[in-house]
Structure 1
Amino acid sequence: MPNKDTEALPDLQFEREQLLEEQVIASFDGAPDDRTRYLLQSLVHHLHGFVREVRLTSREWDTAIMFLTEVGHITTDWRQEFILLSDVLGISMQTIGVNSPSSASTTEATVFGPFFVSDAPLIELGGDIGEGGKGEPCWVSGSVRGPDGTPVRNARIEVWEADDDGMYDVQRDGGQTYGRAHLFSDDAGEYRFWGLTPTPYPIPHDGPVGRLLEMVDRSPYRASHLHFMVTAEDYRPLVTHIFVDGDPYLATDSVFGVKESLVKTFVHHPAGTPTPDGREIPTSWSEVRFDIVLASLA
């Protein structure tokens, strides 16, 4: 139901609501840190503005509190429901956009996601991150360069992805690691590894965030993607994905992570086709190139 016309409120009601907002904002005046004070006062201003604009009912607010409580209860060491909520509301992508100024010369950033693991194993160039995961092998190669084209040597490249079932290793029992690793670019800024051809999968939707999507008839599916996090001295850290051209969920990615510049062509090869590194693969396989351009810190 649309909100009631706030302009039709009696003057006394409007003044009381305005006064409460001002009192709450003023309560943070003594915060010793300027940034903290600014963040809290701006938050109060926008939250009160929302409540007043939509004329939020007590029942609706109680429902929201219970929803957030459920989000907290389902969150674990490996499942961060609050990140999922941030993702499906587009807040994660908006925050990334604010902190990653657009540049035509550098690789665009996108969402971090809830399944990163900081202690992923090290692999050599040309190694395999997909061992133990279900899916079609995929040869991934590319370069890491600065905005002026300078090769970035020894850049740390973290990669992680789901398997053909749409599951990350941390979602499975047994503690097996697959679909994730880190490696370093060579002296020419080049990198290469074997992974799995990305496939679409739903974000975890058996909890409150999933019910929210169902209630508003939104799909929980993410477009097929492979995660990257790249760090190097003198350059801004980059968190990004690449997406599969032709994927049916590119336009409806549940976390708004797709950017046109990150959609790449995955070339598929039949079984028996020679691979770039001479590896013998008894099944079909794919390959993709992703050249990364980092933004300078200066």
Structure 2
Amino acid sequence: MPNFFTEADSVNAVNARVGADINPRLREVMTSLVRHLHAFVKDVHLTQQEWEMAIDFLTRTGQICSAERQEFILLSDTLGVSMLVDAINHRRPLGATENTVLGPFHVAGAPQREMGSCISFDGKGESCLFEGRVTDLHGNPVKDARLDVWSDNAEGFYDVQQPGIQPKWNNRGVFTTGVDGRYSFVGIKPVSYPIPHDGPVGRMLEALGRHPYRPAHMHFIVTAPGFEKVVTHTFVGDDAYITSDAVFGVKETLVAPFERVDDGRTIWRSPFDFILTPDGE
């Protein structure tokens, strides 16, 4: 009996066309996608006009993408898909530092800096000492751990968003731990900022009654020989957007202390330890 397309049997009609000798993982992913997509359309009784609006939305999302801007990743971020994929692929033992989204503003090749040095060069913002240890799951210090760090400036912009305005490599640097596993550097207390919201994703957020803001955070990529890479942030706990991050990146374990010190060198101090998981665990 041919598999003619009907409303009731739509999934079988589509999935029956999948070839016999294709990649097994591709078969698993695509047949599941068809099942869920058709179930969604039936669940909401999608109208022809709504379908056309969806096609137009996806078309405009693709058209705004460029080498500097990836609107589809922004869409994934704001729908929580990016964080879900990250969570599934980075399950770690209790106590290990959790991952969160990389974000679009990481730049490879940031300069190596001396431990304790300052990474903020534009003279703006409230200075903050970031310090702590990199350890294994048992509290042993990790030598030669590499911390690639970056943040926005006091006006909520990353240096790559303001070439010619901010100094190159402003609020960026790479630090490597010694035998004690300790790290320290001086930056600024980061501030909250909006994700790009002048395109289709921004209009979607507005229609949903959602704001485009991310709570203040410092970015870290921590790597060390024999350990899993950690891509994460530390968050300012009293930020107005801490419970409503537009991309769902906040995890309770990543909310860091920001203590006012005014010690003559910095206004703030933010201690945070990174606990790494051995490769393959």
Q: Please report the TM-score for the alignment, with normalisation by the length of structure 1.
A: 0.86
Look up the match of 1:293: 275
Structural mapping, 1:108-119, within 5 Å: 108-119=98-109
Question: AA paired with 1:25?
Answer: N
More moved, 129-138 vs 91-100? 129-138
Contact 1:201 1:222 in 2 (8 A): yes
Cα RMSD (Å): 1.8
- Could you report, residue by residue, the CA deviation over 1:258-293 in whole angstroms, capped at 9, with x for unpaired residues? 1111111111233xx244xxxxxxxx6211111000
C-alpha displacement of 1:102: 4.7
Q: How many residues align?
A: 274
Of residues 195, 198, 206, the one that matches 1:214 is 206
Of residues 156, 162, 173, the one that matches 2:152 is 162
User: Which blocks of at least 5 consecutive residues in structure 2 are unaligned?
Assistant: none
Structural mapping, 1:84-95, within 5 Å: 84-95=74-85
C-alpha displacement of 1:18: 4.0
- Could you report, residue by residue, the CA deviation over 1:223-271 in whole angstroms, capped at 9, with x for unpaired residues? 111111111222111111111121111111111111111111111233x
Structural mapping, 1:161-240, within 5 Å: 161-174=151-164, 176-240=168-232
C-alpha displacement of 1:127: 2.2
Structural mapping, 1:51-90, within 5 Å: 51-90=41-80
Contact 1:179 1:195 in 2 (8 A): yes
User: Which blocks of at least 5 consecutive residues in structure 1 are unaligned?
Assistant: 1-14, 276-283
Q: Please report the TM-score for the alignment, with normalisation by the length of structure 2.
A: 0.91
Look up the match of 2:254: 262
Segments ≥4 residues shifted beyond 6 Å: none
Question: AA paired with 2:79?
Answer: L
C-alpha displacement of 1:144: 1.0
Aligned identity (percent) is 44
CA change 1:67–1:196 in 2 (3 A) is same
C-alpha displacement of 1:141: 0.8
Partners of 1:171 and 1:95 in 2: how far apart? Answer: 27
Partners of 2:27 and 2:105 in 1: how far apart? Answer: 32
In structure 1, the residue corresponding to 2:9 is in which secondary structure? Answer: helix
